[in-house]
Amino acid sequence: MDVKTADGPAFDAFAASCPSRRLLDTIGNKWASLVIVALGLEGRMRYSELSARIAGVSQKMLTQTLRGLERDGLLTRTVTPSVPVRVDYELTPLGLSLLGTIRHLKEWAEAHMAEVDRAREEYDRNSA
Amino acid sequence: MDVKTADGPAFDAFAASCPSRRLLDTIGNKWASLVIVALGLEGRMRYSELSARIAGVSQKMLTQTLRGLERDGLLTRTVTPSVPVRVDYELTPLGLSLLGTIRHLKEWAEAHMAEVDRAREEYDRNSA
DNA sequence: CAGCATCCACCAAGATACTG
DNA sequence: CAGTATCTTGGTGGATGCTG
Report pTM.
0.89
Q: Which SS3 state, helix, strand or coil, does residue B79 take?
A: strand
- The Å distance, CA of A86 to C1' of C19, is 16
Looking at residue B88, the DSSP 8-state letter turns out to be E
Q: Is the peptide bond before B9 cis (omega within 30 degrees of 0)?
A: no
What is d(CA A119, CA A121) in angstroms, rounded to the nearest whole number? 6
pLDDT of the residue at A14: 60
pLDDT of the residue at A127: 84
Q: Which residues of B touch A74 (CB under 8 A)?
A: 116
- The Å distance, CA of A61 to C1' of C11, is 15
Asked if residue A5 has pLDDT above 80, the reply is no
Closest of B54, B56, B65 to residue B95, by C-alpha: B65
- Distance from the Cα of A20 to chain B's closest Cα (Å) equals 5
| Interchain CB contact of B4 with A (< 8 Å) | no
Of A56-65, B9-18, B26-35, B114-123, the poorest mean pLDDT is in B9-18
pLDDT of the residue at B95: 98
Q: Which residues of A touch B119 (CB under 8 A)?
A: 71-73, 94
Query: Alpha carbon A82 to chain centroid distance?
Result: 31
What is d(CA A25, CA B27) in angstroms, rounded to the nearest whole number? 10
User: What residue of B is the nearest CA neighbor of A19?
Assistant: B109
CB A17 within 8 A of CB A24: no
In the predicted model, what is the mean pLDDT of residues B53-68?
95
pLDDT of the residue at A59: 97
Higher pLDDT, A46 or A5: A46
pLDDT of the residue at B9: 47
Interface of A with B in 33-72 (CB under 8 A): 33-34, 37-38, 41, 52-56, 70-72
Question: Which residues of the protein are close to the nucleic strand D, CB under 7 angstroms?
Answer: A 46-49, 59-60, 63, 66-67, 77, 84-87; B 29-30, 56-61, 84-85
